[in-house]
């Protein structure tokens, strides 16, 4: 792989051991994918996990003198101060969150702690070469904004932020962004939850190939597109999708496929969505809690929740995960107070795959996110999966129907 003089200097250690380590990682990835050279990036997002291996790697970069040339936004860990007030956090878990915070701060990251940076503080332009990790973020920036990112890990995205480079391969190249599978959506996509089910159902028929959807609503919501990408990249490994007449690289079917014929065509029906829902969800019944915000909910979604619980009392715990920006807006708008008065929690900077939820282990919840249910399994939680509105009603009743 060709390296410029500056890139060779990074690799040889002239910029410090931390930068050299980051470049070694990127060169290794580039060689594995036969990349001819490196290209510069303009943005990055690192999906920090707040777990030992990830934090150790960030600490090692920082101890080696590395700082980020391109300051990345970062994924959530958990709001240590908030959870210390409402539940018991072990000393080991608190120490890990503090170590993570300090490591990424030392590297010069933007400590946004949100999995939805593409909605408010890290929005790329069409054609920008970026390095985004996080399963909802990569499909959104590729598909909705038309930027260019591979499906980075938290480590490779962080290395890209440190060096300002990524190897040129994969979805950075025109030919790999073109559609391969035509997906005829005969199912009725009525709301944001239907996008969720579509995203989880599609990989069973398309694999990891780039899908081109037809038969979709002409004006989808940001939340619908967010849900679609998050589930496509959870149920499969779909890094980019196209919706004809909606997403920027698919003004027509011809453009989406680059003038070629689809390699194959699949159809997704109402029955497919129904079967997907049945397969993912536990049967209805009594629940202990409701958890939403995987990906982080938007202010529009928080408004819906507040309107439904205003003046009422929750029968089970309600946990709503949002970005710090959204929580600030919710506070200014009075939504935070309405949810809290009903007995709910709105938490910022927090992921569902964190040890702060240990008090819910062994319990049954409701969620609007199959991605949440998938990751929370490792935390010994199980879920009835329903739409956002049905989840709120379940929290008010203490039962999912």
Each residue's pLDDT tens digit, 42-67: 999 999 999 999 999 999 999 999 99
Domain boundary among the residues 278, 296, 329 is at: 278
Q: State how far the alpha carbon of 389 is from the alpha carbons of 160, 227, 385, in Å.
A: 39, 15, 11
Same domain, 69 and 119: yes
Token pair for residue 179?
Answer: 């559609």
Same domain, 212 and 99: no
Condensed to tens digits (0 to 9), the pLDDT of residues 100-136 reads 999 999 999 999 999 999 999 999 999 999 999 999 9
Condensed to tens digits (0 to 9), the pLDDT of residues 354-398 reads 999 999 999 999 999 999 998 888 889 999 999 999 999 999 999
Host domain of residue 204: 178-278
CB distance 81 to 182 below 8 Å: no
Q: State how far the alpha carbon of 153 is from the alpha carbons of 49, 133, 158, 199, 383, in Å.
A: 10, 5, 8, 21, 27
Same domain, 41 and 166: yes
Same domain, 302 and 382: yes
Say yes or no to pLDDT of 182 above 90.
Answer: yes
3-state secondary structure of 351: coil
What CATH number did the domain enclosing 50 receive? Answer: 3.30.499.10
Same domain, 19 and 161: yes
Question: What is the reported pLDDT for 374?
Answer: 87
Same domain, 32 and 121: yes
As a whole number of angstroms, the distance between CA 22 and CA 24 comes to 5
Same domain, 302 and 184: no
Q: Provide mean pLDDT across the span 168-188.
A: 98
Token pair for residue 140?
Answer: 């959104």
Same domain, 88 and 59: yes
Domain boundary among the residues 241, 261, 278 is at: 278
C-alpha 255, offset from chain centre: 27
Same domain, 74 and 85: yes
As a whole number of angstroms, the distance between CA 226 and CA 119 comes to 9
Token pair for residue 255?
Answer: 């453009």
Same domain, 153 and 274: no
Domain boundary among the residues 232, 251, 278 is at: 278
Number of domains in the chain: 3
Same domain, 239 and 299: no
Condensed to tens digits (0 to 9), the pLDDT of residues 238-260 reads 999 999 999 999 999 999 999 99
- Output the pTM of the full model: 0.96
Question: What is the reported pLDDT for 321?
Answer: 98
Same domain, 202 and 87: no
């Amino acid at each position: 792989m060709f390296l410029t003089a500056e890139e060779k200097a990074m690799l040889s250690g002239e910029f410090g051991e931390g930068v050299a380590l980051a470049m070694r990682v990127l060169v290794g990835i580039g060689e594995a994918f036969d990349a001819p050279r490196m290209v510069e990036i303009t943005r990055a997002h690192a999906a920090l996990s707040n777990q030992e291996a990830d934090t150790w790697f960030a600490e090692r970069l920082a101890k080696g003198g590395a700082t980020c040339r391109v300051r990345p936004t970062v994924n959530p860990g958990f709001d240590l101060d908030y959870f210390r007030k409402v539940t018991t956090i072990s000393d080991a878990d608190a120490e890990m969150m503090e170590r993570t915070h300090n490591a990424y701060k030392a590297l010069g990251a933007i400590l946004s702690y949100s999995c939805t940076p593409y909605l408010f503080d890290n929005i790329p332009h069409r054609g920008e070469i970026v390095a985004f990790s996080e399963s909802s973020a990569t499909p959104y920036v590729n598909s909705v904004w038309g930027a260019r990112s591979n499906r980075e890990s938290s480590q490779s995205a962080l290395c890209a932020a440190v060096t300002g480079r990524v190897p040129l391969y994969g979805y950075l190249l025109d030919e790999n962004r073109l559609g391969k599978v035509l997906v005829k959506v005969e199912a009725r996509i009525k709301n944001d939850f239907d996008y969720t089910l579509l995203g989880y159902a599609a990989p069973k028929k398309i694999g990891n190939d780039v899908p081109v959807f037809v038969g979709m609503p002409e004006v989808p919501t940001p939340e619908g597109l967010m849900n679609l990408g998050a589930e496509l990249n959870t149920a499969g490994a779909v890094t980019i999708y196209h919706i004809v007449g909606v997403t920027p690289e698919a003004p027509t079917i011809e453009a989406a496929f680059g003038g070629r014929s689809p390699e194959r065509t699949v159809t997704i029906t109402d029955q497919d969505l129904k079967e997907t829902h049945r397969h993912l969800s536990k049967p209805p019944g009594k629940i202990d809690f409701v958890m939403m915000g995987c990906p982080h909910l938007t202010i529009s979604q928080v408004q819906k929740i507040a309107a439904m619980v205003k003046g009422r009392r929750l029968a089970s715990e309600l946990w709503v995960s949002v970005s710090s920006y959204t929580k600030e807006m919710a506070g200014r708008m009075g939504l935070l107070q309405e949810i809290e008065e009903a007995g709910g929690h709105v938490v910022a900077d927090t992921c569902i795959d964190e040890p702060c939820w240990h008090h819910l282990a062994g319990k049954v919840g409701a969620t609007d996110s199959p991605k949440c249910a998938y990751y929370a399994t490792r935390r010994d939680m199980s879920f009835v999966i329903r739409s956002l509105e049905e989840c709120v009603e379940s929290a008010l009743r203490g039962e999912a129907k």
